[in-house]
Amino acid sequence: MTNDQKVLVFIGLMGAGKTSIGQKLAEHLNMEFVDADEEIVKAAGCSIPDIFEIYGEPAFRDVEERVIKRLLTEGRRILATGGGAYMNPQIRDAIAQHGYCIWLKASLDILVERTSKRTGRPLLKTGEPREILRDLMDNRYPVYAQADLTIETGAESINETLRAILDALKQQTPIIGVSKDE
Ligand code: S3P
């Protein structure tokens, strides 16, 4: 499979901006955008906090794996994954096979600030969010580093991050559906 047929997959911690940047990139490239967590909610017929509470995290991870594997094989699109997805080796393999993986890498301060604005993330409910996010960074960043592309995001605007992604994608051969003048 050549790069221009691959699903563009966003990975990164909660609050890194995978959904908002993914949507923006999809609009810009006129591609379909799918959010894995939304599809999991549809497949399970209940919210993510409810899945964690009623069935437990392992059940959530099972559904997550099935849903993401399906979303990777339905044609070219942009896919935002939940923060834990890439930690699953099966999902990593599927992404390596069908996707081009973009890690949105954010600092702890940014993640703490952004995640404080939205509820519905069960992993942040079990203690002090900053501590939890710090531990997740320690555990996950070495694995996220396997992504094809790493984009550092901070206080800059969504448009600036989008620009950085488009510039980086243009360097790829074969070109990932991004023309020179984009
Ligand atoms: C999780 C991240 C969440 C969601 C679930 C677990 C994680 O997605 O999949 O709450 O393990 O980091 P976002 O990264 O989109 O918040």
Domains annotated on the chain, with CATH: 3-176 (3.40.50.300)
Bridge partners of 99? 7
Q: Is 36 in the pocket of ligand 1 (CB under 6 A)?
A: no
Please give the distance, rounded to the nearest whole angstrom, from the Cα atom of residue 175 to the centre of ligand 1.
Answer: 30
Mutation test residue for ligand 1: of 42, 50, 123, the one with most atoms within 8 Å of CB:
123
What predicted TM-score, i.e. pTM, was given to this entire model? 0.94
Contact 126, 52 (CB under 8 A): no
Q: How confident is the model at residue 119 (pLDDT cuts 50, 70, 90)?
A: confident
User: What is the number of the ligand 1 atom nearest to the C-alpha of 16?
Assistant: 14
DSSP 59-83: HHHHHHHHHHHHHTTSSS-EEE--T
**Tens digit of each residue's pLDDT (9 = 90 or more) over 54-112:** 999 999 999 999 999 999 999 999 999 999 999 999 999 999 999 999 999 999 999 99
Mutation test residue for ligand 1: of 41, 52, 121, 153, the one with most atoms within 8 Å of CB:
121
CA distance 51 to 12: 21
CA distance 70 to 94: 10
**Sequence-separated (6 or more) residues with CB below 8 Å from residue 15:** 106, 110, 111, 112, 113, 114, 115, 133
Sheet holding 7-11, edge to edge: 33-35, 78-80, 7-11, 99-106, 149-153
- Determine the average pLDDT of the residues in 7-32: 96
